[in-house]
Structure 1
Amino acid sequence: MTWRALKHFFGGAMGVFTTQTLLSSVGVSRNRATPGAIAINWILKDGAGRVGKMLFARQGKKFDYDLKQLRFAGDLLMELGAGVELATSAVPHLFLPLACAANVAKNVAAVTSTSTRTPIYKAYAKGENIGDVTAKGECVGNIADLLGTGLSILISKRNPSLLASFAFLSCGYVFSSYQEVKSVVLNTLNRARFTVAVESFIKTGQVPSLKEGNSKENIFSPPWLKHTPVVLGPTFGDAFQDPASFLATQTLFEKERYIVTYNPSKDKIYALLKDQAKSDDILKAAFHAHVLLYFVRLSNVNQSLRNRNKYGQSKLESPIPTNSDFVAHVAESCKIVSSSYGVFKSKAAEQGWIMSDSLLNPGRARLCELKEQ
């Protein structure tokens, strides 16, 4: 809440400069336009922002998957919108398109902030007091916003440099936002925190505590960037580069409701889900995928070291595993998962983690078995 209050303080201060700039650009201070034209421009600006807010709100379900990443991305978007608003002072004749774009960005950021706020407050609640926690949290934010607004009004009377003021307030806002997000401790396992927990378990045999797991979560990983090495619930065509690789691994997963494979051409691990897969099967598939990823990376590192010892510094690239190597890795991972998945679940529960497949955001594709008539 301290970082949240500081963020609202910088946000309130920034609001004075952006509002002042917008009013100047639209023609209020210099009487460049008639009151009717000014009103129409202002209404169009706000209307564009509301349309953008409604369209973006359709992505609401994704706010639960990557709460911290989206919240921080929303605050970055808020500062981008503020920067565009300040830019209207340099080109006042482009007020309407710039102001519309800025308002869309800020409204999208507002939706992100509002949608991710309740889960954060829920983490503070110790019982059925989420309403009380929310009320007090919003009070803190409003007080800080008013203090920032008041101080900024006093400073603006001295006509400070607009660029310097924006740079200082923007840095303070972004830094406070990052610290706010990093300090929140959630007990649910989304993809980022699940990755931290599984990797720690593989390397040390222990599941990190709630505080440690949250502190290691990567905030600079926007969910819309498809660069993750593990894909959960992909299509068949994405997972297998040829039928032979499917046939080689299918028999290893006859008793499971999922199939885990590695596609060397894309350098990714794919966990395909069968149509009868349940919640625990999805969690197990994700766990298995990270185990296989560990084996593949370890094999690549070892092979690179062997190449370096044999050929010198010119052969450091990781080779693409052969089909036999790949099948061996999958078979080895199956043995590890069968004996360690239950241990991982129990240790995660001991640390207070809540295991749920819903936050892992698995894809919709499912494997269906064809039965002979």
Structure 2
Amino acid sequence: MAGGGIMLLIMSLPEGRRMARFVPFACKRRKLLLRSYVVPEGFPDSVTPSYVPYMTWRALKHFFGGAMGVFTTQTLLSSVGVARNKATPGAIAINWILKDGAGRVGKMLFARQGKKFDYDLKQLRFAGDLLMELGAGVELATAAAPHLFLPLACAANVAKNVGAVTSTSTRTPIYKAFAKGENIGDVTAKGECVGNIADLLGTGLSIMISKRNPSLVATFGLLSCGYVFSSYQEVRSVVLHTLNRARFNVAVESFLKTGRVTSLQKGNLNERILSFPWLKECPVVLGPRFKDAFQDAGSYLAIKPLFDREKYIVTYNHTKGKVYALLKDQAKSDDILKAAFHAHVLLHFIRSSSGGKNSSRKQGDAFSNSVPATTNLEAPIAASCKMVSASFEIFKSQASEQGWVMAESLLNPGRARLCHR
């Protein structure tokens, strides 16, 4: 009855006034309909503030990705022989199936990384997007060497499928960081919808551009730069509450330099996103093997009494320029966190004594000149023990006040443990 009454009231108005009231009403309905597709219910109160910048950069990334997809698909079809009729339909189908199969094999093999997707979520997410770009570049290379279509297309598909696995595996933890309540499903659905809309818009624009036969290299270069930049900003805008190694380094360095733990926003903003796993740049090794940390048994026995009450042992190897935190077999989550904190404190002492600023191998050689013998290590290690004893609980308390989740750390220690009989 209420709806019918409203309609009768509208129809009783003069035509001009009727249209004047109907147009804003229709616009409002379209706006509400659009919001129901792109933002979670209860927005903005149902998500964290970082949701908007993340979705903005995500939309731009998918826009550039969709645009590139048109050119790469066109290039692949041309190279395989569809456009130039250089191969039989059967050979074309077999080549296409083989390159897709190679991608699926790569996806399955990379899935074994497992827990690393939780430890270094942002780093792997960005690395996955870089692999997607590499795959797209290799696909475009088939235009220059169509006779190498199969090996190039297989390599490209492996890279793109590995990137897809990374994106899928890191999606849920990111959306979980945005959800304020039990609305992860809603946040995920809207996030994927935003990505699909942007992808379709990019695809449509690229189809119109491709009709003008633009320079393939120049177009790909422009779209690729936009994709990589958007991907970097997308990952950088995520605010996570857990401490992985990169965010832990930022939090501890801030505490040692200023006496205060950095906030969630600054800690995530200063986290290093671009890192290469094969480069051993980190000056702190957590959970190493005994032979990597100590050159001989004497160096171990010299500092062992300092850690009788702890579930770890921290030392410095001056030949490698790194601090090692060995974990005992009884070490729990809090012990691992304390061992990592102690390792950074010891590194801080060594850097202060040597005047070093960086953590590269050259700096490690500089440290070895200032700490030439094992006996000289006892003093800085003993001093670090006193500082850790006095400041670790303060660090934990301040970190909790800033919003960091201290009960669940993602420091990814090595599997080696010291066993005591």
When the two structures are superposed, what TM-score results if normalisation uses the length of structure 2? 0.83
Matching residue's letter, 1:212: K
- Give me the whole-angstrom Cα distance separating, in 1, the residues matched to 2:239 and 2:192: 19
Larger deviation, residues 226-235 vs 340-349: 226-235
Residue 240 of structure 2 corresponds to residue 189 of structure 1 = no
- Which residue number corresponds to residue 19 of structure 2? none
Q: SS at 2:330's partner residue?
A: coil
Q: Distance in 2 between matches of 1:222 and 1:180?
A: 19
Match of residue 58, structure 1, among 109, 112, 119: 112
Q: CA deviation at 1:227?
A: 2.1
How far the C-alpha of 1:62 sits from its partner, in A, is 0.6
- Match for residue 103 of structure 1 among 139, 147, 157: 157
Asked if structure 2 preserves the Cα contact closer than 8 Å seen for 1:69 and 1:223, the reply is: no
Matched to 1:292, the amino acid is L
Matched length: 357
For 1:290 and 1:282, locate their aligned partners in 2 and report how far apart those are by CA, in whole Å: 13
Task: Quote the RMSD (CA, aligned, Å).
Answer: 1.2
Shift of 1:317: 4.9
Q: What runs of 5+ residues in structure 2 fail to find an aligned partner?
A: 1-54, 357-364
Q: Which amino acid aligns with 2:57?
A: W
Structure 1 position 328 matched with structure 2 position 379: yes
Separation in 1 of the partners of 2:57 and 2:332?
40
For 2:85, the equivalent position in structure 1 comes to: 31
**In 1, Cα distance between the equivalents of 2:128 and 2:276?**
11
The one-letter code sitting in structure 1 at the alignment partner of 2:262 is P
Q: Matched residues in 1 for 2:119 and 2:143: separation?
A: 39
Aligned counterpart, 1:169: 223
Report 1:237-276 matches (<5 A).
237-276=291-330
Q: Indicate yes or no: 2:393 matched with 1:342.
A: yes
Alignment of 1:149-298 (within 5 A): 149-298=203-352
Provide the residue aligned with 2:131 in structure 1: 77
TM-score, normalization by structure 1: 0.94
Q: Secondary structure at the match of 2:271?
A: coil
1:6 aligns with 2:60: yes
Partner of 2:100: 46
Please give the secondary structure, in 1, of the residue aligned with 2:280: coil
Partner Cα distance (1:199, 1:137) in 2: 34
Give the match for residue 20 of structure 2.
Answer: none
- Deviations along 1:324-372, one digit per CA (max 9) or x if unpaired, are 33111100000000000000000000000012465100111111113xx
> Where does structure 1 lack aligned partners over 5 or more consecutive residues?
303-315
User: Among the aligned pairs, what percent are the same residue?
Assistant: 79
Shift of 1:233: 0.6
Q: In structure 2, what is the Cα distance between the partners aligned to 1:289 and 1:103? A: 42
The Cα offsets for residues 237-264 of structure 1, whole Å up to 9 and x where unpaired, read as: 0110122211111010011110000000
Q: Deviations over 1:102-139 (max 9, x none)?
A: 00000000000111111110110001100000000000
1:70 & 1:226 partners in 2: Cα distance?
Answer: 16
Partner Cα separation in structure 2 for residue 186 and residue 141 of structure 1: 21
In structure 1, the partner of 2:419 is: 368
Q: Note the alpha carbon deviations across 1:7-56, whole angstroms, 9 max, x for none.
A: 00000000000000000000000111111000000000000000000010
> Could you tell me how far apart the structure 1 residues matched to 2:108 and 2:244 are?
26
Tell me the SS of whatever aligns to 1:355: strand
Alignment check: 8 A CA contact 1:189 1:356 kept: no
Cα deviation code 1:143-188 (max 9, x no counterpart)? 0000000000000000000000110000000000011111111111
Do residues 122 (structure 1) and 122 (structure 2) align? no
Distance 2:250 2:328 in 1: 26
On the 8 A contact 1:233/1:273 being kept in 2, the answer is yes
What is the rounded CA distance, in whole Å, between the counterparts of 1:56 and 1:323 in structure 2? 42
Native 8 Å contact 2:243 2:409 kept in 1: no
Stretch moving more, 239-248 or 194-203:
239-248
User: Contact 2:337–2:409 at 8 Å: present in 1 too?
Assistant: no
- The 8 Å contact of residues 198 and 287 in structure 1, kept in 2 or not, is answered as yes
Deviation string 1:195-221 (CA, Å, 9 cap, x unpaired) is: 100010011110011000001101122
When Rg is computed on C-alpha atoms for both structures, the one with the higher figure is: 2
Give the whole-Å Cα distance in 1 for the aligned partners of 2:414 and 2:114. 17
Aligned residue for 2:276, secondary structure, equals coil
**Cα deviation, residue 228, structure 1:** 0.8
Q: Is the 8 A contact 2:316 2:324 kept in 1?
A: yes
Query: In the alignment, is the contact (CA less than 8 A) between 2:303 and 2:378 conserved in 1?
Result: yes
Partner in structure 2 of residue 359 of structure 1: 410
Q: Which letter does structure 2 place at the counterpart of 1:338? A: S
Give 4+ residue runs of structure 1 displaced > 6 Å after superposition: none
**Equivalent residues of 2:61, 2:227 under 8 A apart:** yes
Amino acid in structure 2 at the alignment position of 1:295: F
User: How far apart, CA to CA, are the structure 2 residues paired with 1:357 and 1:323?
Assistant: 35
CA distance in 1, matches of 2:276, 2:410: 15
CA separation in 2, counterparts of 1:28 and 1:317?
Answer: 61
Specify the code of the residue in structure 2 equivalent to 1:188: T
Distance 2:366 2:164 in 1: 45
8 Å Cα contact 2:122/2:273 also seen in 1: yes
CA contact (8 A) 1:274 1:368 kept: yes
Deviation at 1:60, TM superposition (A): 2.0
